[in-house]
């Protein structure tokens, strides 16, 4: 029977994961296409404000998701040694999810953030359009990271 602490860690891990993934989906599927219909100056104003606020909220949320996932698999889970991690499908799937989560943190808050910062300081419509094209490609890669993690979560639910 899970203890209240394990339930709390799992609950928080899932809630924050939904928040992080959902925020990314919302931005990529709804917000960015909507912003594209605005004049360039307004796009830069809005994206600049969004980038600052997103970093303040999403970076701590994302870091907590990864940290809680680590704890959920080890301290509050079934992986208590390196042999446990490499000795079965569950451990390997957990490791893939963990490494992908860490990579996603770096991708989002280093690679994608730099691209968005350049986008927000673009001089003229040509530079902005080129920066936007690059940002769109990077956000698709970000969604691919999430697809890997989401798949791992489903597999781990079934002990794989």
What pLDDT score was predicted for residue 116?
80
Give pLDDT tens digits for 51-108: 778 888 999 999 999 999 999 999 999 999 999 999 999 999 999 999 999 999 999 8
What pLDDT score was predicted for residue 64?
97
pLDDT of 150 higher than 70: yes
State the average pLDDT over residues 147-151. 96
pLDDT of 11 higher than 90: yes
Q: Is 140 helix (H, G, I), strand (E, B) or coil?
A: helix
State the average pLDDT over residues 17-23. 95
In this prediction, residue 155 has a pLDDT band, given cuts at 50, 70 and 90, of: very high
Give pLDDT tens digits for 30-59: 888 888 788 877 887 887 788 778 888 999
CA distances from 83 to 47, 48, 89, 93, 152 (A): 46, 46, 12, 14, 19
In this prediction, residue 1 has a pLDDT band, given cuts at 50, 70 and 90, of: low
State the average pLDDT over residues 140-152. 95
CA distances from 72 to 7, 56, 91, 97, 144 (A): 10, 25, 12, 12, 23
């Amino acid at each position: 029977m899970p203890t209240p602490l394990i339930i709390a860690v799992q609950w928080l891990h899932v809630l924050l994961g939904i928040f992080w993934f959902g925020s990314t989906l919302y931005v990529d599927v709804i917000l960015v296409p909507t912003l594209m219909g605005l004049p360039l100056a307004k796009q830069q104003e809005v994206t600049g404000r969004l980038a600052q606020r997103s970093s303040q909220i999403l970076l701590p949320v994302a870091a907590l998701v990864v940290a809680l996932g680590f704890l959920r698999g080890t301290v509050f889970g079934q992986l208590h040694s390196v042999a446990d991690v490499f000795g079965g499908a569950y451990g390997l799937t957990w490791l893939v999810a963990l490494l992908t989560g860490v990579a996603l943190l770096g991708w989002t808050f280093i690679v994608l953030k730099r691209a968005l910062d350049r986008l927000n300081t673009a001089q003229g419509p040509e530079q902005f359009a080129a920066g936007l094209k690059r940002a769109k490609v990077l956000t698709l890669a970000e969604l691919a990271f999430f697809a890997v993690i989401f798949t791992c979560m489903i597999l781990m639910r079934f002990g794989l």
